[in-house]
């Protein structure tokens, strides 16, 4: 396969690494106007400035660009080569997403996958397997916290420029947690939102509190934050026969802590342990194959001419609809600090 990567930032580099070791990929072309082949040759993979993209030989495209060009590039790539892997978010807003969805509709036998790799993290997969007859029963509620500290160059990043990014921390990072809520609960509707831009003052939210409800009435609550000075990923799944708490993420920096899943079983006072202090088991994970697996699944779907199993247009539609509703109903408060 000959694959083209648009955008060679943080995600573009990760995708390049994965594609280089994939058996079906013979050639990778990188397109990034910010890079020069003189200073960043990338073993000849970087397309020289001004050169046209060789679409006739391209089998699949990866869109790893800032949000403001995602929709246009994604739609173009769909029309040119039919098979596109697009990083999250799928555009800056609902309009951008709709442009992508329309392009997909026009292109028969396309493959379109969005980068919601958190579904493939081992703690999340283990949690999913435990729900229902897996041992902890039906989900009663979900509570997710996902946040980072921003960092010294936070204000300069395109991710926090409302014109380029289209939203704040909810669109950038909270979107992963919303995708996980859908994974566990199916379609959700928005109940209440509070957005704040209390620290970074970039004009986009640095904290989002989002209350949701599933079609079955199961509540879910998300706190997405760019002011969590200690990087945090935590999803708590309360169930009828126990609970699951996934914390930490196997990331490149390891800053979210060791990935683990706590499994607790409900116990009442007539059982062996003290009420309210059930026996817990903790599974620690030390291998994250999510990047490889989502790319492998995308390329397999392309090769086998079948729909992808995750990161689908429908998955993207669900999260973007929630984000659309959040931004439509809540204004961003900038509380005064004393």
Partner 1 sequence: MRSIQTGMSLPLASVKPLDGLMRYRAYCLEQTRFALRDGIRQRERSPVTGGPLVPFGEIEGLSYVRCPESGSLFLASVADPQTWRELLSSVSMYRHSPEAFHFGIADLRQETVYTPKLGWIEETLRLQGVRRPRLLEVVTLPSDMGSLLRASGLFTDVVTVEEMLLASGRAPMPDEEPVQTAVLLESLDRVDDPAALVQAVVDRLSPGGLLFVTGLVASGFDLATLGIRNRYLYPPDRTNCFSLRGLTALLAASRLSLLEVSTPGMLDVQIVQAHLEQDPRLGVSPFERQLLESEEDTHRAFQTFLQQQRLSSFTRIVARKEGGASA
Applying CB under 8 A, the residues found at the interface with partner 1 are: 122, 125-126, 129-130, 134-135, 279-287
CB nearer to partner 1: give 129 or 328. Answer: 129
Minimum separation from the CB atom of position 304 to partner 1 (A): 14
Minimum separation from the CB atom of position 302 to partner 1 (A): 19
Minimum separation from the CB atom of position 211 to partner 1 (A): 31
* Polymer length of the chain: 338
CB nearer to partner 1: give 75 or 124. Answer: 124
CB nearer to partner 1: give 202 or 250. Answer: 250
CB nearer to partner 1: give 140 or 282. Answer: 282
331: which 2 tokens? 């204004």
Nearest CA to 148 out of 172, 167, 127 is that of 172
CB nearer to partner 1: give 121 or 317. Answer: 121
Nearest CA to 8 out of 47, 38, 35 is that of 35
CB nearer to partner 1: give 129 or 275. Answer: 129
Minimum separation from the CB atom of position 261 to partner 1 (A): 9
Q: Report d(CA 148, CA 127) in Å as an integer.
A: 23
CB nearer to partner 1: give 120 or 220. Answer: 120
CB nearer to partner 1: give 150 or 248. Answer: 248
Q: Report d(CA 330, CA 332) in Å as an integer.
A: 7
Nearest CA to 236 out of 225, 228, 244, 248 is that of 244
Q: Report d(CA 167, CA 45) in Å as an integer.
A: 32
Minimum separation from the CB atom of position 18 to partner 1 (A): 16
Q: Count CB-CB contacts under 10 A for residue 216.
A: 10
Minimum separation from the CB atom of position 299 to partner 1 (A): 16
Nearest CA to 322 out of 225, 190, 222, 191 is that of 190
Query: Among positive and negative, which fits the CA dihedral 289, 290, 291, 293?
Result: positive
Q: Count CB-CB contacts under 10 A for residue 109.
A: 8
Say if residue 135 is exposed, middle or buried (CB neighbours under 10 Å; 0-12, 13-18, 19+): middle
Minimum separation from the CB atom of position 287 to partner 1 (A): 5
Hey, which bits of 133-247 come out as E strands?
A: 139-147, 188-196, 207-214, 219-225, 232-239, 242-247
Minimum separation from the CB atom of position 130 to partner 1 (A): 8
């Amino acid at each position: 396969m000959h694959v083209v990567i648009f955008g060679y930032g943080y995600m573009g580099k990760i995708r390049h690494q994965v594609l280089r070791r994939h058996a079906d990929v013979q050639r990778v072309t990188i397109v990034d106007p910010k890079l020069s082949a003189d200073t960043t040759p990338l073993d000849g993979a970087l397309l020289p400035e001004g050169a046209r993209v060789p679409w006739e030989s391209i089998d699949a495209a990866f869109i790893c660009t800032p949000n403001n060009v995602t929709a246009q590039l994604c739609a173009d790539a769909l029309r040119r080569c039919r098979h596109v892997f697009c990083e999250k978010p799928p555009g800056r807003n609902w309009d951008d997403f709709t442009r992508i969805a329309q392009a997909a509709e026009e292109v028969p036998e396309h493959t379109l996958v969005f980068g919601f790799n958190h579904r493939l993290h081992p703690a999340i997969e283990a949690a999913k397997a435990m729900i229902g007859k897996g041992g902890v029963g039906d989900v009663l509620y979900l509570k997710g916290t996902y946040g980072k500290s921003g960092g010294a160059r936070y204000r300069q990043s395109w991710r926090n420029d409302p014109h380029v990014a289209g939203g704040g921390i909810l669109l950038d990072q909270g979107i992963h947690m919303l995708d996980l809520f859908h994974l566990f609960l199916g379609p959700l509707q928005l109940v209440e939102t509070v957005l704040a831009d209390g620290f970074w003052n970039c004009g986009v939210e640095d904290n989002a509190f989002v209350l949701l409800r599933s079609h079955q009435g199961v509540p879910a609550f998300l706190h997405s934050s760019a002011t969590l000075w200690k990087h945090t990923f935590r999803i708590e799944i309360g169930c009828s026969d126990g609970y699951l708490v996934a914390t930490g993420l196997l990331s490149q920096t390891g800053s979210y802590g060791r990935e683990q899943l706590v499994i607790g079983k409900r116990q009442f006072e007539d059982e062996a342990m003290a009420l309210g202090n059930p026996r817990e088991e903790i599974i620690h994970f030390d291998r994250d194959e999510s990047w490889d697996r989502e790319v492998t699944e995308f390329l397999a779907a392309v090769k086998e001419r079948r729909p992808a199993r995750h990161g689908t247009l429908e998955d993207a539609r669900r999260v973007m609809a929630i984000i659309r509703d959040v931004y439509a109903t809540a204004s961003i408060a900038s509380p005064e600090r004393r």
